[in-house]
Amino acid sequence: MCGIVGAIAARPVAGILLEGLRRLEYRGYDSAGMAVLDQGTINRLRRIGKVQALADACEQQPLPGGLGIAHTRWATHGKPSEQNAHPHMSGEGLAVVHNGIIENFEPLKQELQQQGYVFTSETDTEVVAHLLDRELQGGFDLRAALRNTLARLAGAFALGVIHVDQPHQLLTARKGSPLVIGVGIGENFIASDQLALLPVTDRFMYLEDGDIALLEADHIQVWDAQGQVAERAVTTFERSQGSAEKGEFRHFMLKEIYEQPRVMQAVLEGRIASGHLLEQAFGAAAGAVFDQVKQVQIVACGTSFHAGMVAKYWIEEWVGIPCMVEVASEFRYRPVVLPRDTLLLTLSQSGETADTLAALRAVQDRVLATLAICNVPGSSLVRESDLSLMTNAGPEIGVASTKAFTSQLVALMLTTIALGRRHGLSGERETELVAALEQLPGLLQQLLALDGPIEEMSAHFAEKHHALFLGRNVLYPVAMEGALKLKEISYIHAEAYPAGELKHGPLALVDKEMPVIAVAPRNGMLDKLKANLQEVRARGGELFVFAGCDQSIQAQEGVHVIHLPALPAVLDPIAFTLPLQLLSYHVAVLKGTDVDQPRNLAKSVTVE
Ligand code: AGP
């Protein structure tokens, strides 16, 4: 994903911009560029490939000056090339960097071409540069030009703008894509992620959607979407928030569970706007691929496999095409039959899991296209796949995957919507799904309030050696993930079953020593699940039920119930996961195991 850095200072800014770009490398990119204003001239350098190539070019051709913008580009419109790299200019006087997608760039481009503007790139961004220039030619100042330009743009974006006639000002705006202002002393900055600016400041101002900000070296002015002057609080970054530190948390796993509301925001940012999905977030070639796909094959391991299992329910229900899911270690070693028009979807937190990579390599020449959903941008899986979607969860240190799983589910829901749109999913349904996704950050925040009751519940498991997880339908894979979490970190033997399978065997295991954890579905399956739960109670099994707020399951002797807050049913797999993560965490703490580094396990399984 693209990254933006900008600076206005009394000292040269090229070094600050380069360091900022290096710190944004984790987002993934294919080219980098920078424009710095010096004595009435904008000097621009762009290079394909790594930030280091841009740094080398800067050595050869230094860019002096105290006002500049820089960018790492992840191609969406037009191939990775120097011409398509940012910053983009209109004439010699105006430079723009952009993160996000301008959905209506084609009609805007035609309009501008008819008025004589010549385009030198294939990007959507160049439209912004020329629109700004047209407004300036019409007599507007840079801020008014930016406001008028924003009014013409559909999609999600963050922008940085400089102009030779305003050598002491850096303009910025955001709608749907991340952008933060770094507040310095006698100098100010912008970036896609505060991590880019930590060498120069620890004070940040977060812009709201639709905001425009004008930065001078010693002053920042913000206007809201209605054009009114707006106050945005400045907050100080606590170094303990750094992702490689636990901060106030006892374990990384707990920290990562608590990060999930923010992670939900990060995975959605730049992917949805005005109630619909931005398909270009999957890369320029995605639309054509999604059109032709006739079935999906998902391949993954462990937790990522469980995310794939959830997606199977979504894809078959909402897209109406077949979806197969298989663990990579099996898939890679058998003669699989894959119709040519298959989309191979690999899922991996690390992007380096040996079995998943081997599965990709084994069949990539036999399918229509490959799509990786991954948390590590430069990983092998991403590099070797045709399309990719980053989960943006940030580094996950705890071996037991938590935020990586829920962010995969969101990425998979976005993928399902993208596929569905090409296969008959109605606009209303898309709007409904996107509206539900938008509730996720707040919803997960509410779910964290269940931590206390779940910690109390965990005491029932401390002395147990086995546990059974039950789920139905789309919550069956969630039950599987719950069982995996419990066994990984507490070493309690746990298995998950589709609840309907209970009487086909596992019921024989149920007695008072076998706690049964059920995630209760909110579709027509609830009554069936209740019957299964009766079967457990009748054998003296103790039940722990996670239920929706409106479900008529009451606590009674031997039946413990935790109700989740009200939420759209489509979010159930994401929402029901969080309490199960907390349950395993607290059980593991009670048992005194090494929560973050459980015995015998590794974070990234790069060998067979
Ligand atoms: C999950 O808690 C485990 N750490 C493990 O199952 C993991 O999901 C699996 O090894 C796959 O890893 P990946 O997502 O990095 O490919």
Strands 219-223 and 212-216: antiparallel
Pick the residue whose CA is nearest to atom 16 on ligand 1: 348
Percent residues over pLDDT 70 in the chain? 96
User: Average pLDDT for residues 325-353, to the nearest whole number?
Assistant: 95
**Which region, left, alpha or beta, applies to residue 43 given φ > 0 means left and ψ of -120 to 50 means alpha?**
beta
Separation between Cα atoms, residue 16 and residue 7, nearest integer Å? 8
349, 375, 409, 606: residue to mutate for ligand 1 pocket, most atoms within 8 A of CB:
349
Separation between Cα atoms, residue 150 and residue 136, nearest integer Å? 14
Asked if residue 243 is part of any domain, the answer here is no
**Average pLDDT of the chain, as a whole number:** 91
Cα of 478 vs centre of ligand 1, distance in Å, is 15
State the DSSP string of 155-207.
EEEEEEEEETT-TT-EEEEEEBS--EEEE-SS-EEEESSGGGGTTT-SEEEEP
447 pLDDT band (50/70/90 cuts)? very high
Pick the residue whose CA is nearest to atom 10 on ligand 1: 302
**Do 385 and 374 belong together in one domain?**
yes
**Do 357 and 281 belong together in one domain?**
yes
**Do 456 and 475 belong together in one domain?**
yes
From the CA of 301, give the closest atom in ligand 1. 11
Cα dihedral angle (88, 94, 95, 96), rounded to 10 degrees? Answer: -90
User: Average pLDDT for residues 560-571, to the nearest whole number?
Assistant: 92
First vs last C-alpha separation in the chain: 31
What is the pLDDT at residue 10?
93
From the CA of 353, give the closest atom in ligand 1. 16
Percent residues over pLDDT 90 in the chain? 71
Phi, psi angles (nearest 5°) of residue 7: -150, 145
Asked if residue 391 is part of any domain, the answer here is yes
Domain of 210: which CATH number?
3.60.20.10
303, 329, 484: residue to mutate for ligand 1 pocket, most atoms within 8 A of CB:
303
**Do 40 and 116 belong together in one domain?**
yes
User: Average pLDDT for residues 315-343, to the nearest whole number?
Assistant: 96
Cα of 304 vs centre of ligand 1, distance in Å, is 6
Residue whose C-alpha is closest to residue 62's, from 14, 7, 21, 5: 14
Cβ(356) – ligand 1 distance below 6 Å: yes
User: Average pLDDT for residues 247-269, to the nearest whole number?
Assistant: 92
User: Average pLDDT for residues 550-571, to the nearest whole number?
Assistant: 87
**Do 212 and 270 belong together in one domain?**
no
Count of other CB atoms within 10 angstroms of residue 62: 15
**Do 223 and 290 belong together in one domain?**
no
Cα of 579 vs centre of ligand 1, distance in Å, is 19
Cα of 163 vs centre of ligand 1, distance in Å, is 48
pLDDT, one tens digit per residue, over 86-131 is 999 999 999 999 988 888 989 999 999 999 999 999 999 999 999 9
CB 162 within 8 A of CB 67: yes
Separation between Cα atoms, residue 181 and residue 70, nearest integer Å? 14
From the CA of 604, give the closest atom in ligand 1. 15
Residue whose C-alpha is closest to residue 553's, from 579, 575, 573, 526: 526
Q: Lowest mean pLDDT of 25-29, 73-77, 134-138, name the range.
A: 25-29
What's the pTM value of the predicted model, to 2 decimals? 0.79
User: Average pLDDT for residues 479-485, to the nearest whole number?
Assistant: 97
**Do 216 and 262 belong together in one domain?**
no
Cβ(488) – ligand 1 distance below 6 Å: yes
589 pLDDT band (50/70/90 cuts)? very high
Distance of alpha carbon 557 from the chain centroid? 42
Q: Catalytic site residue 603? A: yes
Cα of 468 vs centre of ligand 1, distance in Å, is 21
**Do 181 and 222 belong together in one domain?**
yes
pLDDT, one tens digit per residue, over 468-479 is 999 989 999 999
Residue 240 has pLDDT above 60, yes or no: no
**Do 184 and 52 belong together in one domain?**
yes
Which amino acid is residue 52, in one-letter code?
Q
What is the pLDDT at residue 58?
95
**Do 372 and 465 belong together in one domain?**
no
Asked if residue 476 is part of any domain, the answer here is yes
Give the count of domains, the chain: 3
Residue whose C-alpha is closest to residue 390's, from 364, 416, 411, 406: 411
Residue 57 has pLDDT above 80, yes or no: yes
Residue 239 has pLDDT above 60, yes or no: no
pLDDT, one tens digit per residue, over 528-556 is 777 777 778 888 888 899 998 877 777 88
Cβ(391) – ligand 1 distance below 6 Å: no
Cβ(380) – ligand 1 distance below 6 Å: no
Q: Of 209, 238, 267, which residue is a domain's last?
A: 238
Cβ(125) – ligand 1 distance below 6 Å: no
pLDDT, one tens digit per residue, over 198-217 is 999 999 998 888 999 999 99
Q: Name the maximum alpha-carbon separation found in the chain.
A: 84
Asked if residue 585 is part of any domain, the answer here is yes
Which amino acid is residue 438, in one-letter code?
E
- Annotated catalytic residue within 246, 528, 591, 603: 603
Cα of 397 vs centre of ligand 1, distance in Å, is 12
Q: Of 419, 447, 475, which residue is a domain's last?
A: 447
Asked if residue 43 is part of any domain, the answer here is yes
Cβ(304) – ligand 1 distance below 6 Å: yes
Q: Catalytic site residue 246? A: no
484 pLDDT band (50/70/90 cuts)? very high
Cα of 145 vs centre of ligand 1, distance in Å, is 49
pLDDT, one tens digit per residue, over 496-534 is 999 888 889 888 888 888 999 999 877 666 677 777 777
Q: Of 447, 476, 505, which residue is a domain's last?
A: 447
CB 450 within 8 A of CB 579: yes
What is the pLDDT at residue 27?
67
What is the pLDDT at residue 285?
85
353, 388, 594: residue to mutate for ligand 1 pocket, most atoms within 8 A of CB:
353
Beta bridge partners of 37: 42, 67
Cβ(375) – ligand 1 distance below 6 Å: no
Separation between Cα atoms, residue 549 and residue 572, nearest integer Å? 12
Q: 63 in helix, strand or coil?
A: coil
CB 101 within 8 A of CB 270: yes
Element (H, E) at 581: helix 572-591
**Do 201 and 275 belong together in one domain?**
no
pLDDT, one tens digit per residue, over 402-433 is 999 999 999 999 999 999 999 999 999 999 99
Domain of 313: which CATH number?
3.40.50.10490
Residue 197 has pLDDT above 60, yes or no: yes
Separation between Cα atoms, residue 34 and residue 14, nearest integer Å? 8
Q: 141 in helix, strand or coil?
A: coil
What is the pLDDT at residue 534?
79
What is the pLDDT at residue 241?
46
Beta bridge partners of 89: 95
Which amino acid is residue 70, in one-letter code?
A
| Domain ranges, residue 440 | 248-447
**Do 33 and 172 belong together in one domain?**
yes
Which amino acid is residue 430, in one-letter code?
E
245 pLDDT band (50/70/90 cuts)? low
CB-side exposure of 586: number of CA atoms within 13 Å? 17
Cβ(350) – ligand 1 distance below 6 Å: yes
